[in-house]
């Protein structure tokens, strides 16, 4: 009789696993600075117009990074990162980006998961101490405390890898930007505009290639509802949106613009502690009864 009771309890616990859950959303809001690189020399372009094949590099810091609505930046730490994209096409005012053919690791001094050529990585996020304290606060003067592409990238990739996102084969992956301002395709023009001058807006959905906070669950593109990652309109990764503004007085050599994006991704749901305790009790009971018999 006891065996039947324990069996029933264990079966009930197993049925609850995966259904009794507490999902959490990772949300991030950043400040970043942008460079356009020649795809051959990987040196900043400071004049001319954006062209297919150009490489867009962003270095960013997160003043806001939360998990489940709670601050996830430990005291004495900061969350920073880089993004590396390549212009796939320009159609009127619409720019479509893809992964850089040379790989994110061709720009980053730190090798990241998926960062080699063809690996898919476009975004790498790190947690590091404040020994340098990368500052990209556009309300400050100077607005940046790194002065070159190499230094900014080095500081943005310092510390422990938190997550990597990119193009990894999901049909819903995309990254598009819409030029809003006249002259928004001209690098010199954008570099001469103030940080309050809106140049473009962008939207993206990327697959999570690596995530240290736990497995990522399916998310509706453009929303935070749970979904089947294989279904149309769903992606196991972050959704992003943001704006690009002018690069006047940035203070980092060759940087031509500022940007700001908001991102979110859904941590995979996990069983609640009470469910796991119930399952554990049932399994322990089975073991005890087997030993007695």
Nearest of 59, 55, 57 to residue 86 by alpha carbon: 55
Task: Return the half-sphere exposure (C-beta side, CA atoms, 13 A cut-off) of residue 271.
Answer: 14
pLDDT tens digits, one per residue of 203-257: 999 999 999 989 999 999 988 888 888 888 899 999 999 999 999 988 889 999 9
- Rounded Cα distance, 254 and 36, in Å: 8
Summarised one tens digit per residue, pLDDT across range 197-214 is 999 999 999 999 999 989
Each residue's pLDDT tens digit, 91-115: 999 999 999 999 999 999 999 999 9
Residue 19 lies in a domain: no
Number of domains, the chain = 1
290 pLDDT more than 60: no
Q: 2 lies in a domain?
A: no
Within-domain flag for 286: no
Amino acid 259: pLDDT: 93
Question: Distance between CA 95 and CA 91 in Å, rounded?
Answer: 6
User: What's the mean per-residue pLDDT of the chain?
Assistant: 86
Residue 43 belongs to some domain of the structure: yes
Residue 282 lies in a domain: no
pLDDT score of 49 = 97
Q: Could you tell me the pLDDT band of residue 140, with boundaries at 50, 70 and 90?
A: low
pLDDT tens digits, one per residue of 38-88: 999 999 999 999 999 999 999 999 999 999 999 999 999 999 999 999 999
Give the model's confidence band at 271: pLDDT under 50 very low, under 70 low, under 90 confident, else very high: low
Which of the four pLDDT bands, split at 50, 70 and 90, describes residue 4?
Answer: very low
The per-residue pLDDT for 145 is: 86
Q: Is residue 104 situated within a structural domain?
A: yes
131-159 average pLDDT score: 83
In a domain, 52, yes or no: yes
- CA geometry: angle at 159 spanning 158 and 164, to 5°? 85
For residue 288, pLDDT beyond 60: no
pLDDT of 5 strictly over 70: no
Among 260, 261, 269, 203, smallest CA distance to 236 is for 269
Residue 33 located in a structural domain = yes
d(CA 183, CA 48): 11
**Which residue range(s) make up the domain with 189?**
29-264
pLDDT (0 to 100) of residue 272: 58
């Amino acid at each position: 009789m006891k065996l039947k009771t324990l069996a029933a309890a264990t079966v009930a616990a197993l049925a609850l696993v995966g259904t009794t859950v507490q999902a959490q959303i990772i949300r991030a809001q950043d400040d970043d600075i942008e460079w356009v690189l020649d795809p051959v020399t990987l040196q900043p372009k400071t004049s001319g117009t954006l062209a297919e094949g150009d490489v867009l590099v962003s270095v960013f810091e997160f003043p806001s990074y939360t998990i489940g609505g709670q601050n996830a930046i430990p005291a004495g730490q900061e969350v920073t990162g880089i993004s590396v994209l390549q212009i796939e096409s320009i159609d009127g005012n619409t720019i479509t980006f893809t992964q850089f053919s040379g790989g994110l690791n061709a720009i980053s001094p730190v090798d990241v998961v998926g960062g080699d050529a063809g690996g898919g990585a476009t975004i790498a996020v790190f947690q590091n101490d404040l020994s340098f304290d990368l500052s990209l606060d556009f309300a400050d003067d100077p607005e940046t405390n790194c002065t070159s592409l190499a230094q900014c990238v080095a500081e943005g990739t310092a510390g422990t890898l938190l997550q990597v996102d990119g193009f990894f084969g999901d049909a819903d992956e995309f990254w598009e930007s819409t030029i809003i301002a006249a002259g928004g395709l001209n690098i010199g023009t954008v570099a001469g505009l103030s940080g309050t001058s809106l140049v473009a807006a962008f939207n993206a959905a990327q697959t999570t290639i690596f995530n240290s906070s736990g497995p990522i669950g399916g998310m509706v593109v453009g929303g935070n509802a749970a979904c089947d990652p294989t279904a149309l309109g769903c992606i196991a990764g972050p959704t992003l949106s943001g704006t690009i503004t002018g690069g006047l007085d940035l203070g980092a050599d060759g940087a031509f613009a500022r940007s700001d994006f908001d991102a979110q991704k859904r941590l995979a749901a996990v069983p609640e502690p009470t469910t796991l305790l119930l399952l554990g009790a049932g399994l322990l009971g089975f073991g005890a009864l087997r030993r007695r018999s």
